[in-house]
Amino acid sequence: MGIKLRLILLNFLQFFIWGSWLLTIGAYWFQTKQWTGTEFGAIFSTMGIASLFMPAIAGIIADRWMNAEKLYGLFHILAAFVLFIVPTVNNPSAMFWVMLVNMMFYMPTIALAITVTYSTLKSQGLNIVKDYPPIRVWGTIGFIVALWIISLTGLETAAGQFYVAAAASLFLGIYSFTLPKCPPLGKGHKKSLVNVLGLNAFALFKNVKLAVFFLFAMLLGASLQLTNAYGDTFLHDFARIPEFKDLIAVKFPAIIMSISQISETLFILAIPFFLRKFGIKKVMIFSMIAWVLRFGLFAYGDPGAGLWMIVLSCIIYGMAFDFFNISGSIFVETQSEPSIRASAQGLFMMMTNGFGAVLGSIISGILIDKYFTISPGEFDWKGIWLTFAVYSLIVAILFAILFRHKHDPKTFSSTSYR
């Protein structure tokens, strides 16, 4: 199997695991368990809490002491065992702790997958900007396949979705030990206390431009968690309305939501062109505007005559996610020294899926319970989505004003960055 195919399989399984439960846990939570919004916000915050420290710790280990591909495999194996336990949990408090442990093992694998892929591509003399997006797109395809499997097998509101994720995680963990070696590149460097602890990646904050970039990455991370947490259960709730309950979008909401990931596959492939043509600042602004449209269209859409708005919102999601997440990781890679490559990606993950996820999950859960809950289990979805849209618009305006960056097309050329 060629090296690109091996990396494709890695990325496919990486996001197949997440796609097996990430968008459908809300339906399991609200429709099956009938637990509250604040409790659900706490559950979704587990990925943020884990991302506050685990990607950074994993990056330190991979930079200094352990091969990245081995650490990656170990985390997936441990996560698999935790996922097998999830269906046995019968109260929200216990669910919080079990999911937190699961996220402590899974979240660092996102950054480690990037590290392993970038390292392998470089060792083969390949170009990251050109060759990474066509590989990463298979991660999105894996997410889509998982969503369809969960939806068509009737597992959207069932505990079986976690068994599917566990099996995939165990397989990927074992497979990871067969990948090309990605040894620590921080060995041999000056061993000050800061270097030993891997804290030199935080020196990136000394650069005002990068500090501002990381701040807004955190704010966009909050937007990502909002759509992940509530999109699927939003469509499920239309089953309460007689005129909508038998429509396809209500019976199989995960399939409708998968349009978002299908859109991702197209926008991922467009990233090299957009980065070279417009630069990271404009690409990030495109992403932020897309988030405004994503939430605004959800506010006015429905599974009937307004289905086109929901579908268009899902299409726009591809730009909202990819132009922020994938482009951001490439930008961080171009701004970092090789000796802190994994730590820098861990730092980016900490800001987006760490602080951003915690803020987005906890605050949204509290706001929904306090201002947008009509009755237990019934929500003012229009008000919820419009609030999220206004938030994203404010973030976009502030970013356009505060982030100062002069675009150099050579930074993302097909020959300058290997």
Is the pTM here over 0.75, yes or no? no
Q: Is residue 398 part of a domain?
A: yes
> Please, what is the Cα angle at 161 between 159 and 166, to 5 degrees?
105
pLDDT band of 294, cuts 50, 70, 90: very high
Taking a C-beta distance cutoff of 8 angstroms, is the pair 327, 348 a contact?
Answer: no
Domain count, the chain: 1
For residues 68 and 58, give the distance between their C-alpha atoms in angstroms, rounded to a whole number. 9
Name the nearest CA neighbour of 257 among 22, 14, 11.
22
Query: What does the DSSP 8-state code read for residue 377?
Result: T
Range of the domain at 366: 3-412
pLDDT at residue 168 in the model:
94
Q: Is residue 183 part of a domain?
A: yes
Average pLDDT (297-301) is 92
Q: Is residue 327 part of a domain?
A: yes
352-369 confidence digits (pLDDT tens): 877 887 787 778 878 888
Taking a C-beta distance cutoff of 8 angstroms, is the pair 388, 225 a contact?
Answer: no
226-237 confidence digits (pLDDT tens): 776 677 678 878
What's the N-to-C CA distance of the chain in angstroms? Answer: 22
Residue predicted with more confidence, 331 or 286: 286
34-92 confidence digits (pLDDT tens): 666 667 767 777 877 887 777 677 767 776 777 777 888 999 999 999 999 988 888 88
3-state secondary structure of 366: helix
How many CB atoms are located within 10 Å of the residue 78 CB? 18
For residues 309 and 297, give the distance between their C-alpha atoms in angstroms, rounded to a whole number. 5
- Residue 18: pLDDT above 70? yes
Q: Is residue 418 part of a domain?
A: no
Amino acid, res. 69: E
116-142 confidence digits (pLDDT tens): 887 777 777 766 667 777 888 888 889
Residue predicted with more confidence, 411 or 38: 38
pLDDT band of 171, cuts 50, 70, 90: very high
Query: What does the DSSP 8-state code read for residue 374?
Result: E
3-state secondary structure of 302: coil
Q: Is residue 232 part of a domain?
A: yes
Q: Is residue 417 part of a domain?
A: no
Task: Give the rounded percent of residues in the chain with a pLDDT score beyond 70.
Answer: 84
Name the nearest CA neighbour of 289 among 400, 417, 198.
400
- Residue 339: pLDDT above 70? no
Question: What is the CATH classification number for the domain harbouring 284?
Answer: 1.20.1250.20
- Residue 222: pLDDT above 50? yes
**Strand duo 378-379 + 373-375: pairing:** antiparallel
Q: Is residue 267 part of a domain?
A: yes
